[in-house]
Amino acid sequence: MSPGGSLQTRRGRRQFIRGAAAAAGATGFAFTRLPEPADAAPLQNVVRQVAETISTLVFEVLPATSGVAPFEVYMNSYPNEGAGHGTYNRGMWFGWNGGHYAARDPGEATAGVYMGFEDHYYDAGGDETFGVEWYTGYTSPDATAVKPGDLRPLYWRVLESDTDTTTKSVFVVTDIGSAGKGAFAVYGSVRANRQLFAITNRGIYAHVPTRFTAPGGSIQVAPTTGYAQIELVAPGPGPGGHHGVIAWRDGSAPAWSIAGTTGSWAVRDAVNGDRAQVSLTPGPSDSTAQTTLHSNLSVKGKFGVNGATPKVRAAAIAAPAEPSLAYSQAELQSMVEAVNDIRKVLADVGLTHAETA
């Protein structure tokens, strides 16, 4: 733009008003040129900052309503700290009450909303590099409760932006605030209110199937306090009457699953017709709850029955060279007692055999 004439003159300072055609019911607008404001100043092509750390107002729009924040465009520079000492970071900020950030101007007692661009900020005590930054921000009406830089809903920073390298690190932050209603959400259609994913101060919510493909494929639940908990919550039964399923696959082939219905849970073998290999039926006591094995059972080590490990005499019988009748009778009695102990153990675990006369 040429330096002559004000912005309002060059833009035509158009105000759209209903014309006669519109009054007659036709579509369209007519416009009229308003008079030049008395305090209009030429908009310069170049605005120069007179010295470092001096806030420079580039452009300002003053609303007709009194007491309302102006829309401002500011430029300023600040000295870097730490290893960046001796250099300056320059920024451009624009928005309603834009002076809150660039000029630390209290402005009008209304909320500020701004966008910022910084070209050379050295993050002393942080990543210890020069970086460019972009963000949007908010300031409270008094610019004190929420100061400039306190709440930036969108922010990103490119680290080591002053080097000509092809690989860069980018730090991205989305700040949803500390109140309970804040959220970061992804929608498939805002008009249809179809939310796909959301992060709030209460939790993370996914409304579409979620897949993790990271190397190793591990998911770790490691709370800093309390206990770790994973819940499957279903509104009702799905295919097969299942309320919840945890499934394993070997590549694309189904392998094992743990599936629950209203009355029981089962470990199922998907390789062999999805047959149940272990079934668990709940009950209010040890004698009514049921665990059923649909397979052979191999035990390596001890196993207990009713909370105790059964003990059966397993020592070898050492007979004398010429046993007496009394000795033979005593050993026969010991053998009978051992067989009865074995039968009791089998009966305790539910293994019985119907005797015939």
What is the tens place of the pLDDT at every residue in 188-228? 987 788 999 999 998 899 998 888 777 777 788 888 998 88
Higher pLDDT, 234 or 143: 143
- Residue 158: which of 135, 133, 127 has the closest Cα? 133
Count, in order, helices (H) and strands (E) of the chain: 4, 17
For tokens 């392998």, name the residue. 255
Q: What percent of the chain has pLDDT over 70?
A: 78
State how beta strands 244-250 and 204-206 pair.
unpaired
Model pTM score: 0.63
Judged by average pLDDT, the poorest of 167-171, 181-185, 245-249, 275-279 is 245-249
With a cut of 80, say whether residue 153 has pLDDT above it: yes
Q: Strand 244-250's sheet: what is its strand order?
A: 244-250, 253-260, 265-269, 275-281, 290-293
